[in-house]
Amino acid sequence: MGFRKLFLLLIAALVTTLFSSCNQGSEEVVAFTNVNLVPMTSERIIENQTVLVKGSKIIAIGDSDTLQIPENAKIIEGNGAYLMPGLADMHMHTRADWEDPEIWPVHPLYLYLANGVTTIRDFTPYGSPLDYALKWREEISEGIRVGPTIYASGKLLYASPLEDPEGTVQMNYELGFDFLKLYSYLSKDDFHHAVAAAKALDLYTSGHIPYSVGLEGVIAEGMDEIAHVEELLFEFIDFDRDRQLPPEEWIVYLIESFILQFDPSSSTLQTDFEMENLAMLAGITTRLRTAQVPVCTTMVVDDIIQLKLFHADAFLDRPENKFFESGYLEIFQRGEEKHQVQCRGVESICALKYGIDRWVLKSLHDAGILLLLGTDSGTGGMGIVPGYSIHDELRILVENGFSPYEALVTGTVNAAIVVERMTGDGDFGTIEVGKHADLILVRENPLEDLTTIKEPLGVMAMGRWYPKDLLDQMIQIPTLETSTQSIKTMELAQAIGYSSFRFSPP
């Protein structure tokens, strides 16, 4: 066994040990005392609160001076820190090879937790068996695996001709997946059959806007959600939707169509584009609002493309790059990375695309469309680091006119609304009695400065508390030295049993 594998096993053992000594699944009450509450039920802070958690639920909230704390409760002393709901990455992807420490130096499930992401929604698993993420979910719920709450789609409906759309939908449903994902290359006919089959099973649908179908068609068929803001971009391009092209030729055709329509050499291209398409954009937002169709943001993909293309040094300087899957940086250095290849020779169009996506995002926000915080993390190959990308996405929303509160709504309140539509249980996203105990303790007021969430003092996921020192331990990159350290920490943790549970922010 390699030392990295050994290290991973040790970390898993350590974390499980801590659980058994914590409140997991027990009837023990955990009390957060003297916290400033960020309930996310409205834009406000409630000072000096105590929050009681039992099992996976919040059972009481009240003034720290008056709320009774049960005698044997474990106390987490807040000392004026801020307690906010955990965040959801509503568009990401799991991979079966996350389990391989030779590929992923730290298990991405840990990276999400360490960044305050307590819910993830898997927009297509990579690897087999198809339902590995559902197994992970079960293990997390049983307390034998560490991670956020997982919602997942199963086998992707990718390109036509589909052999058996109804059969695939039925299989996904029977395996227990929460929603169906549809992709760009489906014909009108296949799209129709797949969505109809999902509707018959009451299975939620989200996805790209297939080029053959278009936004109007997607809404008419009743697809529940759009997977990216950038999907709306194709609405502005004149192209023949009835063309039958193999998947790899579509994007070339679309870029050609775009260049025919707009003059890429013009220095005022973006302004011209916006002026010409104002009415079209208004039509899009009206359609989405009328149909109440939510849209995932995933703006960080564009943002990182700009870094990779135009500020490679800044991209390479990011501290979270140490969590990249093995081989990624080498591919990037060789100039063979996905977006380097896709944008080669059309760099200015890639830059323009980000500009237009931002313009669309602002308009969706102004129109009150239900937006979902999502980062497309987890696939590897794009330079997006699981967990860490959530902070970039929040920053981008604020750069584009969202208040910090509005940005947080996309990853809390709105996420819960959509999970409710998807599964019937969206009891998270706010701090209220009866809601899941998915919480982040942060030093500063996040409604003033979202960057405080990058350094959580602790994270609670479904009632399990991960103090900062444990989170740090979980995401330590294994070296021979830290393996030994980890053994020591585990021995220490076992010795003290983490029994005091008392925690004061430094």
Q: In angstroms, what is the C-alpha Rg of the chain?
A: 23
Token couple for 111: 């990276």
The interface mask with Zn ion, positions 75-114, x = CB under 5 A, is: ----------------------------------------
# of chain residues touching Zn ion (CB under 5 A): 2
C-beta of 322: minimal distance to Zn ion in Å? 23
C-beta of 226: minimal distance to Zn ion in Å? 12
Nearer to Zn ion, 123 or 191 (CB): 123
- As a whole number of angstroms, the distance between CA 39 and CA 75 comes to 20
Nearer to Zn ion, 123 or 262 (CB): 123
C-beta of 93: minimal distance to Zn ion in Å? 6
User: Residue 257 class from Cβ within 10 Å (0-12 exposed, 13-18 middle, 19+ buried)?
Assistant: middle
What angle in degrees, to the nearest 10, is found between the helix axes of 214-221 and 188-201? 30
C-beta of 415: minimal distance to Zn ion in Å? 16
- As a whole number of angstroms, the distance between CA 45 and CA 214 comes to 43
Nearer to Zn ion, 383 or 446 (CB): 383
Token couple for 20: 């058994």
Neighbours of 355 (CB within 10 A): 16
Q: Are 102 and 2 in contact (CB under 8 A)?
A: yes
**Is 228 strand, coil or helix?**
coil
The interface mask with Zn ion, positions 408-427, x = CB under 5 A, is: --------------------
DSSP state at residue 70: P
Q: Where does this chain touch Zn ion (CB under 5 A) — which range of 120-128, 147-155, 250-258, 384-392?
A: 120-128
Instruction: Select the residue interacting with Zn ion from 123, 405, 466, 498 (CB under 5 A).
Output: 123
Q: Where does this chain touch Zn ion (CB under 5 A) — which range of 82-90, 117-125, 136-144, 230-238?
A: 117-125
Nearer to Zn ion, 93 or 391 (CB): 93
Q: Where does this chain touch Zn ion (CB under 5 A) — which range of 56-64, 98-106, 123-131, 154-162?
A: 123-131
Supply angle C-alpha 148, 378, 88, rounded to 5. Answer: 40
* Residue tagged 């003033």 (tokens): 448
Q: Where does this chain touch Zn ion (CB under 5 A) — which range of 3-11, 119-127, 399-407, 459-467?
A: 119-127
Is the omega angle on the peptide bond into residue 161 within 30 degrees of 0, that is, cis?
yes
Tell me which H or E stretch contains 141: helix 132-142
Q: Are strands 439-442 and 458-461 parallel, antiparallel or unpaired?
A: antiparallel
Nearer to Zn ion, 302 or 376 (CB): 376
Nearer to Zn ion, 378 or 426 (CB): 378
Nearer to Zn ion, 122 or 190 (CB): 122
- Residues 366-395 binding Zn ion (CB under 5 A) are 376
Nearer to Zn ion, 153 or 430 (CB): 153
| Sign of the torsion formed by the C-alpha atoms of 227, 87, 111 and 464 | negative
- Residues 458-487 binding Zn ion (CB under 5 A) are none
- As a whole number of angstroms, the distance between CA 464 and CA 501 comes to 12
C-beta of 155: minimal distance to Zn ion in Å? 15
- Residues 298-327 binding Zn ion (CB under 5 A) are none
Q: Are 239 and 250 in contact (CB under 8 A)?
A: no
Nearer to Zn ion, 131 or 376 (CB): 376
C-beta of 301: minimal distance to Zn ion in Å? 8
Binding site for Zn ion (CB under 5 A): 123, 376
